Amino acid sequence: MRSLWNDEEAARFEREGGELGLRVYTSRLLGREPELVLHGGGNTSVKLRERNLLGEEEDILYVKGSGWDLADIDAEGFAPVRLEHLVRLASLERLSDPEMVNELKTHCTRAGAPTPSVEAILHAVLPHRYVDHTHADAVVTVTNTPDGEARVREIYGDRVVVVPYVMPGFDLAREVARRFPAEAGPQTMGMVLLQHGIFSFGETARESYERMIELVTLAEEHLRSRRAWSVGLPEAPPPPSPIRKEVAALRRRLSRLAGRPMILAVHDDPKGRAFARHPEVGRIARQGPITPDHVIRTKPLPCLGRDVEAFARDYQAYFHEHAPQAREPKTMLDPAPRVILDPEWGLCTVGRSPKDAAIVRDIYEHTIDVILRAEALGGYRALPMRDLFDMEYWDLEQAKLKRAGEPPVFTGEVALVTGAASGIGRACVQALLRRGAAVIGLDRDEGVREAASGPAYRGLVCDLTDAGALEQALEAGVRAFGGLDMLVLNAGVFPPGRRIAELDEAEWRRVLAVNLDANLNLMREAHPLLREAPRGGRVVVMGSKNVPAPGPGAAAYSASKAALQQLARVAALEWGSDGIRVNTLHPHAVFDTALWTEEVLRARAAHYGVSVEAYKRRNLLEVEVTSRDVAELAAELCGPLFRCTTGAQIPVDGGNERVV
Ligand code: ZN
């Protein structure tokens, strides 16, 4: 592993923030290396002497605040805690978790600081100025073997202090305080926590960081020299296709176990498939995670195959066996697995949100490497279930996952929006994402890829009139998120005005193909998926004011939208017993869409002899209807407010006297 230290970058951080600035810099260097830390894992600190308002000098421990990620931490992410108090706490016989958190918070010198890491006391008792902690893959590979401790001593000699596994938090801090400085010598540059991770120390940010790199490199070299670095797997056959109906059915079962809609991601990843087919997967995968830090995300064990109910039964049985012996009474967490290793589908991950499922994927990709390398080294050994249970049910770990307040209404649900590249479709994507849904956007236009960003959005280029392309898009969307809960049929074309006498058949056919046939096809393909929606499927159809009040010169458009409306009404009749609601919006005169250029607007306004502004507000309420107005209502139609409504048609037009 290479040091990423760069003198110029470092100087910039030092100019802006002094020694704390350098602490920020090397923390980010650690965070940039996924083989050191993943997603909020690891922590760092620096001890600084500061003068308080009374002019007194104080030693302050700046330690990573909980909720911050090393990859993008800044000075605000470090909590300043009075060092002397922390060191004295380590001499207590015991300190409960709530007491510890209270002490950490009340001894910060900045009121708005984040809660200090639960490892703050441990950082405090180490005598070095800079302390870096990671769960480096290479180190946990070595320690998670039957003779891990002997190997660590062989690799590092007196350069590190070795600490057997103790649960993180106060007990670990006390154990470390007991060993320092007695076990440390002039050579000591770090500490290995068996089956957990590694610490490095230094007088400067650079020294501590580069010692981390040096120590991890030694572990990597050990693995290489034992032929336990490059570990291949036989190639697995590609997954069967299509599988979307089975995926949606599995997600429904997972959501039932979890008690809420969950995201299920099927990763098309050869390594995951090969690992899931490993002849000894039952032994090597069903031991536990590579560091206890992961258990909260991954659960102690993966589910092998798709019998998630059997997994849940085992989980419940284990809980009832061990919970009574836990330190404090516990309520059982949901028993749905977070990692599924299926011989056909490969690695699948489960999470409350697409981001959670993606984090679990990253963690498990590393887990596979560590397990295979540890196996090559002499056998993979994880912590006993007992310790994993304590860690999973540790309140301070649970607190990390809890977000402030209620999660958004569509968290864990999946929506598909057609015509998502612009206008009302794009606004629907945003409205659904804001409400916590994962969204699949389809459009012929390449712009659909950039209609939104982040792990909760997939924009797929797709011509809806091409049945094969539509199937592929559905297959990809369902593999990404696990199913389909909401469908917004928004795509449509509005041809230039033409009287019936001049309407040629090709144009008529083209308009019906997009506005009607493509929607029929999509509804037919979506039905088996919507039927599996944990909270019931929802369909929103973009109709038009032209359905109740057609205009001259728009025969093809009005006829196609009227036929689509009948289709929606029949779907409401046919799908009600499947719990699927189908409702229609009739927007009108939504001018912030691609259809309406400035030029067209001016021409229309001139036609009516009014200003563009007045033309935009030609409705009973004299309001301008925007894409966002339509999209917000479309999203609300999918929400609990309309739980009892299906087959409805709602105008979004500012009031039209021909409709009222
Ligand atoms: Zn750790």
Residues 116 and 186 in one domain: yes
Instruction: Please give the angle made by the CA atoms of 430, 434 and 435, to the nearest 5 degrees.
Output: 120
Rounded to the nearest whole angstrom, what is the distance from the C-alpha of residue 315 to the centroid of ligand 1?
25
Verify that 362 and 427 share a domain, yes or no: no
CATH number for the domain spanning 330: value is: 3.40.225
pLDDT on residue 321: 85
Ligand 1 center from residue 173 Cα (angstroms): 12
The residue range of the domain holding 388 is: 244-404
The answer to whether residue 72 sits within a structural domain is yes
For residues 487 and 417, give the distance between their C-alpha atoms in angstroms, rounded to a whole number: 6
Distance 221 CA to ligand 1 centre (A): 22
Q: Which of 352, 383, 404 is the last residue of a domain?
A: 404
425 domain residue, yes or no: yes
Residue 538, amino acid = R
Cα of 41 vs centre of ligand 1, distance in Å, is 7
Percent of the chain with pLDDT over 90: 84
pLDDT of residue 405: 66
Ligand 1 mean position, distance from CA 126 (Å): 15
Q: 443 CB contacts (<8 Å, ≥6 apart)? A: 418, 419, 420, 421, 422, 425, 451, 459, 461, 462, 491
CA of 601 to the centre of ligand 1 (A): 61
Of 107, 130, 133, 122, whose CA–CA distance to 46 is shortest?
Answer: 130
Q: Say whether 265 sits in a helix, a strand or coil.
A: strand
Q: How far apart are CA 559 and CA 299, in angstroms?
A: 54
pLDDT for res 293: 85
Residue 173 counted as domain residue: yes
Do residue 430 and residue 565 come from a single domain? Answer: yes
**Per residue in 300-355, pLDDT tens?**
999 999 999 999 999 999 888 887 766 666 788 899 999 999 999 999 999 999 99
Cα of 27 vs centre of ligand 1, distance in Å, is 14
Identify whether 311 is part of a domain: yes
Same domain, yes or no: 346 and 443: no
Which among 473, 495, 354, 475 has a CA at the least distance from the CA of 420?
A: 473
Per-residue confidence (pLDDT) for residue 631, from 0 to 100: 98
Distance 38 CA to ligand 1 centre (A): 11
CA angle in degrees (0–180, nearest 5) for 634-637-638 = 100
**Tell me: the pLDDT tens digits for 198-237?**
999 999 999 999 999 999 999 999 999 999 999 889 898 8
Q: List the CATH number of the domain containing 92.
A: 3.40.225.10
Q: How many angstroms does the Cα of residue 171 sit away from the middle of ligand 1?
A: 14
The total domain count for the chain is 3
Q: Rounded to the nearest whole angstrom, what is the distance from the C-alpha of residue 392 to the centroid of ligand 1?
A: 14
Q: How far is the CA of 97 from the centre of ligand 1 (A)?
A: 17
> What's the gap in Å between 135 CA and the centre of ligand 1?
6
Q: Is residue 316 part of a domain?
A: yes
Kindly state whether residues 431 and 576 are assigned to the same domain: yes
Among 1, 104, 112, 14, smallest CA distance to 61 is for 104
Question: Is the Cβ–Cβ distance between 541 and 565 less than 8 Å?
Answer: yes
Say whether both 28 and 60 belong to one domain: yes
> Hey, which residues are catalytic here?
557
Extract the residue ranges of the chain whose pLDDT is less than 50.
Answer: none
User: Which of 225, 258, 283 lies at the terminal end of a domain, its last residue?
Assistant: 225
Distance in Å, CA 42 to ligand 1 centroid: 5
At residue 332, the pLDDT reads 87
CATH at 629: 3.40.50.720
Verify that 252 and 353 share a domain, yes or no.
Answer: yes
Co-location of 400 and 419 in the same domain: no
Q: What is the pLDDT of residue 157?
A: 95
Q: Are both 570 and 629 inside the same structural domain?
A: yes
Indicate if 163 and 16 belong to the same structural domain: yes
Q: What letter represents residue 444's amino acid?
A: R
Residue 406 is predicted with a pLDDT of 78
> How far away, in angstroms, is 417 Cα from ligand 1 center?
42
Q: Are residues 151 and 276 in the same domain?
A: no
Question: Is 497 a member of any domain?
Answer: yes
Residues 269, 208: one domain?
A: no
Look at residues 404, 432, 456 and tell me which one is the last residue of a structural domain.
Answer: 404
With respect to residue 493, please indicate whether it lies within any of the assigned structural domains. yes
Q: Over the stretch 439-491, which tens digit does the pLDDT of each residue have?
A: 999 999 999 999 999 999 999 999 999 999 999 999 999 999 999 999 999 99
Give the distance (Å) from ligand 1 centre to CA of residue 293.
6
* Within-domain flag for 238: no
